[in-house]
């Protein structure tokens, strides 16, 4: 019996990368996991199968985020499968086109805010009536909102900065219900999001690994394990926090 037995979790973007590692870890801990995906049904089903093969329970949940009505569509798909939620992980996100301020178009800005900020805001808002007292909201942020500015990721960083404010503010609102709200902030993690500049460039890989005294690039499971702590009862006295998940001693 795991520490999350009897709990239900929803992980947005749970079919690959960090979201998949979170979904698999929460499943191993005993939660019934809704593995949300946007378009890749095969990947979502693979994640569900991996959870089941490890002895857990999960189901895939489709909803495109960043479009009008996205949160309502997600919850209607969720309600068709189960009722009540204990752990909401707002993980789905896009990095968008890398460019400094002069190159960022209004379309780029609107799109990245729609997926990274507006979607988690309304997914959470509409999820509140399903989220049980004592529950958890965990938002996946980034190191870029604190101390590691990257000018060519200005719009992306702003979307996550807004998510950080959402996190600390919502924590005050939901505290009386025993619900904690925290942000987890990864640094460089080896996922498809970074495939272009990281995986195929040994020099980029080496410099990214050297940022951490632990001497390696982050792996999705490094983040999944931190999220698992925040999802568990062990973290009940931690709320409104931005939790460093970078493997870096000092930024």
For residue 247, the SS3 value is coil
Kindly name the residue from 113, 156, 166, 205 that is annotated as catalytic: 156
Please identify which residue in 16, 25, 118, 130 interacts with ligand NAD, judged by CB under 6 A: 16
By CB under 6 A, is residue 107 in contact with ligand NAD? no
Q: Which positions ≥6 away from 189 have C-beta within 8 Å?
A: 17, 18, 217, 218, 219, 220, 222, 223
Q: Which positions ≥6 away from 180 have C-beta within 8 Å?
A: 136, 137, 171, 174, 230, 235, 236, 238, 239
Residue nearer to ligand NAD on the CB measure, 177 or 195? 195
Residue nearer to ligand NAD on the CB measure, 113 or 239? 113
By CB under 6 A, is residue 96 in contact with ligand NAD? no
Q: How far apart are CA 98 and CA 85, in angstroms?
A: 35
By CB under 6 A, is residue 135 in contact with ligand NAD? no
Residue nearer to ligand NAD on the CB measure, 150 or 169? 150
Of 3-11, 14-22, 124-132, 229-237, the window that binds ligand NAD (rule: CB under 6 A) is 14-22
Please identify which residue in 157, 180, 194, 235 interacts with ligand NAD, judged by CB under 6 A: 194
Q: How far is the CB of 123 from ligand NAD (least distance, A)?
A: 10
By CB under 6 A, is residue 191 in contact with ligand NAD? yes
Helices (H), 150-219: 154-174, 202-210
Q: How far is CA 124 from the centre of its chain?
A: 13
Helices (H), the chain: 17-28, 41-53, 70-79, 106-113, 119-127, 154-174, 202-210, 220-231
Q: Determine whether 37 is an active site residue.
A: no
Binding positions for ligand NAD, rule: CB under 6 A: 13, 15-19, 37-38, 64-66, 91-94, 115, 140, 142, 186, 188-189, 191-194
């Amino acid at each position: 019996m795991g520490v999350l037995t009897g709990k239900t979790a929803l992980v947005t973007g749970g079919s690959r990368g960090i979201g998949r590692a979170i979904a698999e870890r929460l499943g191993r801990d005993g939660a019934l996991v809704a593995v949300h995906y946007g378009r890749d049904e095969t990947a979502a089903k693979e994640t569900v199968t991996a959870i089941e093969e490890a002895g857990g329970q999960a189901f895939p949940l489709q909803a495109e985020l960043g479009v009008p009505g996205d949160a309502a569509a997600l919850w209607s798909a969720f309600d068709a499968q189960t009722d009540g939620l204990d752990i909401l992980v707002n993980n789905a996100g896009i990095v968008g086109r890398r460019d400094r301020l002069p190159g960022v178009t209004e379309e780029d800005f609107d799109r990245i805010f729609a997926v990274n900020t507006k979607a988690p805001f309304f997914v959470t808002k509409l999820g509140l009536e399903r989220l049980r007292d004592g529950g958890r909201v965990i938002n996946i942020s980034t190191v870029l909102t604190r101390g590691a500015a990257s000018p060519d990721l200005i719009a992306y960083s702003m979307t996550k900065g807004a998510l950080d404010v959402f996190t600390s503010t919502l924590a005050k609102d939901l505290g009386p219900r025993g619900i904690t709200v925290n942000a987890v902030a990864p640094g460089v993690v080896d996922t498809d999001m970074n495939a272009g500049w990281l995986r195929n460039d040994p020099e980029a890989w080496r410099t990214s690994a050297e940022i951490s005294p632990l001497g390696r690039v982050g792996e999705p499971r490094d983040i999944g394990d931190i999220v698992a702590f925040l999802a568990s009862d062990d973290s009940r006295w931690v709320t409104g926090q931005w939790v460093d998940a970078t493997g870096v001693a000092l930024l």
